[in-house]
Every structure is written in structure tokens, then in C-alpha cells.
Amino acid sequence: MARSARPHSGGSLEREAVLVGIDAGTTKVTTLIGEVGRSGDVNVIGYGIAPSVGMKKGMVANIDQTVNSIASSVEKAERLSGYKISSAFVSVGGSHISSQNSRGVVAVSGHKREVSREDVGRATEAAKAVQVPSNREILHVVPRGYIVDGQEGIKDPLGMSAVRLEVETHIVAGAATSVQNLSKCIVTSGVQIDEMVISSLAAGEATLTDTEKELGVLVADIGGGTTDIAIFVDGAVYHTAVLPVGGINVTNDVAIGLRTSLNLAEEIKIKHGTASMAEVEPEELLNVAVLGEAGGQTIQRRRLCEIIEARMSEIYSLIREEVKRSGHAGMLPAGAVLTGGGARLAGADVLARDGLEMPVRIGAPQGIGGLMDQIGNPAFSTSIGLLLWGAHHLGEEPIGYGGNGVNPLSRVGEWIRNLFPG
């Protein structure tokens, strides 16, 4: 029986699956271990967080350093949970990620003319027949909906009488070398790969409601080095993109503007910063250490917040332009959901409402139990979303990615079906 994690010694899973998610980001590597119950409920039973060294803007910049960061995170999760990790769902990001929508059309086979899984599979394969350069790797082919003999809006066509079946899909691809470098780091750290999931889809799993996805919603995962975007319309993903800016850019601006160290700039940003100038009193003062000087300097808090607001406004401007590029400007009634570590900045949602010109809320992970007192905040939406993605897609074959030590997700699904015969 295959599984993503197993007890170090003795014991049994007692009719539960154990899945693992690894989010190797620009600033931290997070490993989560979660139990999936018979009802599909997911409970986090272990986590490990390690500083990310060797990643830059969501991509591997140094293999050895990245391997060490991943191994450290994995070891911490194993120690806390008592499980030995063998494989995991892994987040992938970086500005090399691109997406497009494609439609596949097939004639329904079989003498009964009823849509079968084989027909759905053939239609999906037909949708995959798009021009993808040899240096690109398809990561996801996500069905958005089906059209049966001209009837649109079909979510599940199985068993329907039909002559013609069409599927609308969202295809996500990444640079093959970037994906392979991340894969190499994961495998070298001693973990096989169940599936690679782009960060924005994982974040959407953890923070969005079904109603928001139906109405039309944007999720923006503001991480350390990148901001990952996904737009959902009619219940399915329509557009994904990655912007090469994130919380590190804000910290760098603070460090330069106040002439202080990056570590201190990050501390000041979190403790005293806000993206909303309306919350700042003109007379508020801060004492800030200055590089190369003794005693530091006294500054107005407003000066700090002006620096933060300027960079966050730029991030929101880039998000707004991406929404326009998708063709859904002014067409997302559910507004925007901000998540990721950058969404924890005070006033982030207040400034975003003006910058994005739509309703905005901060999205914390939901739909999961266990050790949420420690990790139940927006900074862990992607890693928690990886567990939910795995639980929701058990038994499906990952699209487009193979080799490099990858374990097909179908093996996990087969194991689950053996445990829970229906």
C-alpha cells in the first residue's frame, strides 16, 4: 500500500489516508502532514517550518541550499507527527508559469451513445493538443465545464446520452528547467512527488468558498518573492498568473528608505507598518537603528507607512492589470481574496479595495482541522491547500508531469479505494 507518510514504528492508519504538502517558497519552506478521514475531512497532525535559503522569486537559485532547507522542514514535520514522509504534493511558482484556455471535442463512442470516462478522457486529451514549446511543461489540465450536444453548463456529463462531447479546460504550463530543478531538490531531500500544484490553485483550495467561485472571484497569494493569482468564474479556474513581486520587495524598500538592515526592516514592517495611511497619526514616532551609526534615528511612523503603501499600491496595480488582461475587469462580483504572508500586513485589505476597485477580504485557511492554532493564518494557505488538493483529487492521474522520481497520484487513489470500498 502506497502512502505519503507512514508511522516510524508500529501502529496503523486505521482506515485513514495520510497526505503531505511541501510549499517551498522564497522566504520559508513549510511541510504539512495531514490525515484524511473516511468522510474526506483533513486534520493537520504535523508541520515543519524552515527558513528558505536557495530560492529566489519562487524558483530554485541554489540546489544544495534549497535541498537543505526542504530536508530541515521535512525533518521537523516528521519529528512532530511521528510519521516518516515518503512522498508529497509540492507547490510550484515563479514568473515562468503561464496559462491558457482550450476546448476539446470528440464523438461519443459506444453503441449506447452514453458519455463514459473514456469519452471524457479523450476530450481532455483533445484539449491538450495545443502548441506548447519544447521548453515548457504542462502542469495542469483543469476541466472547466462540459458541453453535451450543444448544451452548455454541464458539470458532470458521465452517463448522459449524447453524440458530441466538448470540454473546456484551463491549461497551466511552466518552464521545464525550473520545474525539473524544483523536482530534483525535492527528490534529493528524500521525498518523492505525488503531484506538483501551482501555488494559486492550492491557495484557492484553502481560502475560497464554492459560492465565490460560482459568482466570480480573484485570489491573490502575496508571498515573499511573488504574488500568485487565480481567477475563478462559474465554479472553475479561468485564469492564472504569477507576478514577480511580493513581501520581500516591501521589506527591501523599508530597509533602503530607513537605512537599516533587512532583518530589522522586516521586524519594523510587521510590528509598526500598515498599508493604510488613514490609520496613522502624524505625531507617532519610532526609533530605528541605522546601519553604520550608533544610537539610531527617530522617525515619524508616517514615513515608514508611506514606503509600505507605495510598494503595496504597485502590487495591487499589477494585479488590476492582470485582471484586465484576463478580460474580467468589473466582472468579479465576489471581489478579491488576499492571502499569503503579505496579506497579514495591517491595512492590506483597506488599500486593496481602492487599488483593485472591488470588494476585498483577507482569506485564512478553512475546511481543515488539527493544529490550526499554530498555522491557521494566511501565510500557510498554500501549504494547507496542498493537503486539500490531494484529498479532493485522490484517484485522478496528474496531467503532464512525469519522471524525476514522481509517483503517480493514481496510486494513492487506488489505495484509498481499497481502504474504503464503495
pLDDT of residue 407: 41
Rounded Cα distance between 34 and 202, Å, is 15
pLDDT digits (tens, 9 = 90+) for 146-199: 999 999 989 999 999 999 999 999 999 999 999 999 999 999 999 999 999 999
Beta bridge partners of 188: none
Mean pLDDT of 104-127: 92
Instruction: Kindly indicate the confidence band of residue 7, based on its pLDDT and cuts at 50, 70 and 90.
Output: low
**Residue in 215, 181, 206, 176 with CA at minimum distance from that of residue 98:** 176
Which is more confident, 339 or 287?
339
CATH class name, domain 98-175: alpha beta
Q: Where are the beta strands (DSSP E) in 224-347?
A: 227-233, 236-243, 285-288, 297-300, 336-339
pLDDT of residue 3: 56
Mean pLDDT of 365-392: 93
pLDDT of residue 397: 60
Which is more confident, 295 or 133?
133
pLDDT digits (tens, 9 = 90+) for 47-63: 999 999 999 999 999 99
pLDDT digits (tens, 9 = 90+) for 321-330: 999 999 999 9
Mean pLDDT of 121-143: 91
pLDDT digits (tens, 9 = 90+) for 263-280: 999 999 999 999 998 888
Rounded Cα distance between 314 and 325, Å, is 17
Instruction: Kindly indicate the confidence band of residue 129, based on its pLDDT and cuts at 50, 70 and 90.
Output: confident
Q: How do beta strands 336-339 and 360-362 pair? A: parallel
Which is more confident, 285 or 320?
320
- Domain segments of the chain as ranges: 98-175
CB-based burial label for 419 (10 Å; 0-12, 13-18, 19+): middle
Please, what is the average pLDDT of the chain? 88
pLDDT digits (tens, 9 = 90+) for 15-48: 368 999 999 999 999 999 999 988 888 999 999 9
Instruction: Kindly indicate the confidence band of residue 396, based on its pLDDT and cuts at 50, 70 and 90.
Output: low
pLDDT digits (tens, 9 = 90+) for 52-109: 999 999 999 999 999 999 999 999 999 999 999 999 999 999 999 999 999 999 999 8
Instruction: Kindly indicate the confidence band of residue 292, based on its pLDDT and cuts at 50, 70 and 90.
Output: low
pLDDT of residue 294: 66
Question: Dihedrals φ, ψ of 124, to 5°?
Answer: -65, -40
pLDDT of residue 411: 40
> Which of 62-66, 314-318, 406-410 is least confident?
406-410
Mean pLDDT of 224-228: 96
Rounded Cα distance between 239 and 170, Å, is 7
Question: Dihedrals φ, ψ of 186, to 5°?
Answer: -65, -50
Q: Is pLDDT at 366 greater than 70 in this prediction?
A: yes
pLDDT of residue 417: 37
